[in-house]
Amino acid sequence: MEPVVIIQDGARRDEAVLRWAAAYAQLVGTGLEIHRPQDDFRAQLVVVGYRRRRTSAPGLGGDVLPPPASARCDTVVVRGTPEAVDARNRHVTVLVSGGPGDRRVLRHAADFARRRDAALRVLHAAPELPVRDGVVTDPTYVLARAAAVLDGFRHHAVLVRAQPHEAIARCTDTDLIVVGSGDTHESGTVTRASLHHAPCPVLVVHQPVLAARHRRAAIPTPRRPVRLEA
């Protein structure tokens, strides 16, 4: 089984990242490695830290390495309260947008909730829109589709009439927020909002089909393993 890989770009180690990655590696029964962004490696999950830089440009480049949308596997960005990092809240929240990536995101969220014996919340954020030409938009279909994908997996569906970043900031009882990797405009908005506003770690689920369709840049195919001592 491929390892959980921590990416760090300096000598200083983030204890929250190490703690989260070690706990997850133990949970799934795999190894833990530490690499630098330029290394070649294989991973089932990449774990990185979040650090807000005053001079960073809009986007994620100044805050997260590597950018989650470019990874060829799932990425966890560790941030938030100590309670969330240590999985003490016993809740996993998955954000759905109604896009083609929801199916994969939901399945990954359900698997994580099952492994952690945590409750699963399915959240769709949709602000109130003005009625045009007598047409009223009903966003509840997004949650209905999510329930069909989960196929009986126990969960709590929530529709929040707010912008994604507002809904995400309210998830103070959550240990993990699960989102897609941002290969469509809508899921990209949700992903950015999660990475900048979440009060907990964020799991960004890789979308290989969507990534290929949009020709997103990706980490090069691994050529040789490189292991750094933890």
Q: What is the predicted pLDDT for the residue at 41? A: 86
pLDDT over 80 at 60, yes or no: no
| pLDDT band at residue 70 under the 50/70/90 scheme | low
Distance, in Å, from the CA atom of 31 to the CA atom of 225, rounded to the nearest integer, reads 13
Q: Vertex 125, ends 124 and 130: CA angle to 5°?
A: 125
C-alpha pair distances (Å), 207 with each of 66, 183, 202, 222, 224:
16, 7, 15, 18, 24
Predicted confidence (pLDDT) per residue in 101-149, tens digit? 899 999 999 999 999 999 999 999 988 776 565 555 678 899 999 999 9
Residue 51: which pLDDT band, with cuts at 50, 70 and 90? low
Task: Report the pLDDT value the prediction gives residue 145, as an integer from 0 to 100.
Answer: 93
Hey, what are 204's tokens?
């960004």
Between 75 and 56, whose confidence is greater?
Answer: 75
Q: What is the mean pLDDT of residues 184-201?
A: 73
DSSP string for 214-226: HT---PPPP-S--
User: Is residue 175 over pLDDT 90?
Assistant: yes
Q: What is the pLDDT of residues 87-100, one digit of tens each?
A: 999 999 999 988 88
Which pLDDT band, with edges at 50, 70 and 90, does 221 fall under?
Answer: very low
Q: Is the pLDDT of residue 69 over 70?
A: no
